[in-house]
Structure 1
């Protein structure tokens, strides 16, 4: 019965994708799925399978579990990789959330174009996910919980056992005399999911035996409503998203529509969604702020800024205002924090004089010197005022590379060149300060 259900899910949801990648933890659920997967590829020779064990380093037993998974996979004729990850904790990020994010980032590396990632979540997991969403006060998107099928990395993510109870999975494991590992952390009820699993779900199942199907149905209906909302908002969102990826919020838009557009925009960028309180803060403290304000809203590792009625999603990078690097003509210089690279390139079309032999050339991200005069301007201005006039957003003013000859500012990449460094009529060579962003 369970095997036929598994086969139906694979054939119905991945008819064109013949490579299946299993997230194998070694626990009961994924161990059962490994056995189902081995039977499936034996019966369907046009499919192939691969397993990935993600080593979080959170348990002293993880090395043993990893080797056990490799052994079990080999006995089933399935190749298996071990992916070692580090869980990055931060403000408001739980161990569970950090482990989940690290796990999926590791799994994404193994998904080639058109592949299907298989994970072993089941109906009891779905109950836990819905209850956790209720605890957070989530709307339809959160209550939709886990979908059976969704896009993932270069392929798709399928949960073929999502409507199957844990009891059925246990029965299959016992019937086929399978072995699996027991993660000691699954008994730790300090974790919300474990508390629900051990204290809440058994009571719900005893009181209402049909609770799994009811929760699955409600989650599906919430997913349908969320999908309908996306479809209805798609035109508005297309009009609001600018060429640089920012979101334009006009004055005549209502708070309800505006917040819905912000949610859909953030969802497109696959970020951790802000809470309702944070979303309201984005709307009232960011979008509705005065024109001359410089507001920001931060959550997790993200930062939302506003500039000229447009919202920009940024990562919260450490300060690099003191970073500097020597620059050699015609050699690329790598910038920190995924900012790309710069090059001082000799080219006939350039207007910038090359450095003199005694001038040390460097790239920096901060300037605190005297007033300067950009090329084509009538007079000198303070640096901060110039950046405002050239419409450089405040968060980019210390993230835009600057060229220095000695201690003199020569140019700001993509913004302006200082007048006194423009080539004279007697100069035979010239250079150009180029910035290639990632």
Structure 2
């Protein structure tokens, strides 16, 4: 037990800060069951850290409801807050069931993460071997062969795999020693899945022939990861020239690079945004069909759940998003309101101390006298039929024309918050303030 807990603790403390919260990806299998137990022990040493467990219910097994209930019971016994999320997988999408389940799982888990949280997942050294061999089967380069990192940034938090240096045998021994029970997913023995085939048919033979094979894979994966990190460091100056604050990539800069360097910069861009790496063919299609499309075209390339788009000489990666055109909510002074679909929060601030600790960007200044006389302040996303007179402009113009003039990409025009006073535009966040409402005593803040 002490050895596994030391492994766990070493991983948890290898980051310079301790989190306010640990979020456990809790399937109920032996790996996550041990992870739950170790997290509970760890919390006794660091009681200021909150621990929660999130169970993703895929509905793929007849036993799924029973597993969820069992997970809830274990968390209750340890005093860990438990959350269950049901997801539906599109099995006709053409993607493998493994990938669909994994993507859905991480999408759900990301919704539970706040800044600096640790998302704990239960992968171990045997999983690392499987991941390495799957990458080798796909013909991956160093990025894919670096497999799973023990710690990696994820959205605004970190994914931590505190058991990555332990083996499946170590984990099961700990579970038996502590008298733990866990769920057994019958799909784990289904050899139709590549990972299971490697786990049951390939890895045991490798391990029998070469007992140090697992350690060798770990070493190769680490060397690949180090080479990738070094390459990113060397190319950081070029990447900073191509990358813009609106998360886009400059096409003109890319055109002046070699084919290899251009491809690398696009990969770095997608990695920074947290998206799945494209294949070599997909990378070439992104360049040929989007970046190099005719000037008057509106091209896009679907990369998993992301659209690669072009606008005003730049590449953008656009996530599939909900239609929030008809969303509307009233807002008052010094009131923080949450925007839909993870767009952030906004407030109209006159009291500088009220939201001082929140990380919010100033996007405009308003006249407090005019705002106090406003008949009905609200936030909307539908620009249809609206007219505005931005500060510094001589005339009013339709919103459609203003979005074009301010270079707002077409896919953002119904996802950019608009503050309204009755039927009048007060401000379009991140774009302009209307001349009538210009002032210096009320600040428009937006936390994205």
Query: Is TM > 0.5 for Structure 1 vs Structure 2?
Result: yes
Change (3 A) 1:413 1:131: same
- Equivalent residue number for residue 357 of structure 1: none
- Equivalent residue number for residue 84 of structure 1: 84
Change (3 A) 1:74 1:3: farther
More moved, 206-215 vs 105-114:
105-114
Change (3 A) 1:244 1:173: closer
Aligned partners of 2:115 and 2:156 also within 8 Å:
yes
Partner Cα separation in structure 2 for residue 109 and residue 411 of structure 1: 31
Partner Cα separation in structure 2 for residue 53 and residue 311 of structure 1: 35
- Equivalent residue number for residue 247 of structure 2: 245
- Equivalent residue number for residue 163 of structure 1: 165
Partner Cα separation in structure 2 for residue 325 and residue 204 of structure 1: 57
Change (3 A) 1:203 1:292: same
3-state SS of 1:101 partner = helix
The runs of 5 or more residues in structure 1 that have no matched partner are 355-361, 368-374, 404-409, 417-421, 423-429
Partner Cα separation in structure 2 for residue 184 and residue 348 of structure 1: 63
- Equivalent residue number for residue 189 of structure 2: 187
The answer on 1:68 being equivalent to 2:70 is yes
- Equivalent residue number for residue 307 of structure 2: 303
Normalising by the residue count of structure 1, what TM-score does the alignment of the two structures yield? Answer: 0.72
- Equivalent residue number for residue 3 of structure 1: 2
- Equivalent residue number for residue 269 of structure 1: 273
3-state SS of 1:286 partner = helix
- Superposition pairs for residues 27-426 of structure 1, below 5 Å? 27-40=29-42, 44=45, 50-58=51-59, 59-75=61-77, 78-87=78-87, 89=89, 91-108=93-110, 110-111=112-113, 113-152=115-154, 154-249=156-251, 250=253, 251-317=255-321, 393=409, 395=411
Partner Cα separation in structure 2 for residue 319 and residue 22 of structure 1: 31
The runs of 5 or more residues in structure 2 that have no matched partner are 347-365, 375-379, 386-392, 420-424, 439-443
Partner Cα separation in structure 2 for residue 131 and residue 34 of structure 1: 28
Computed over aligned residues only, the root mean square deviation of the Cα atoms, in angstroms, reads: 4.9
3-state SS of 2:86 partner = coil
Structure 1 residue 260 displacement after superposition: 1.0
Cα offsets for 1:264-316 (capped at 9, x unmatched): 11111112222221111112222233434332211222111122321111124
Structure 1 residue 231 displacement after superposition: 1.0
Normalising by the residue count of structure 2, what TM-score does the alignment of the two structures yield? Answer: 0.71
More moved, 107-116 vs 307-316:
107-116
Partner Cα separation in structure 2 for residue 41 and residue 393 of structure 1: 46
Partner Cα separation in structure 1 for residue 23 and residue 417 of structure 2: 42
Partner Cα separation in structure 1 for residue 31 and residue 329 of structure 2: 55
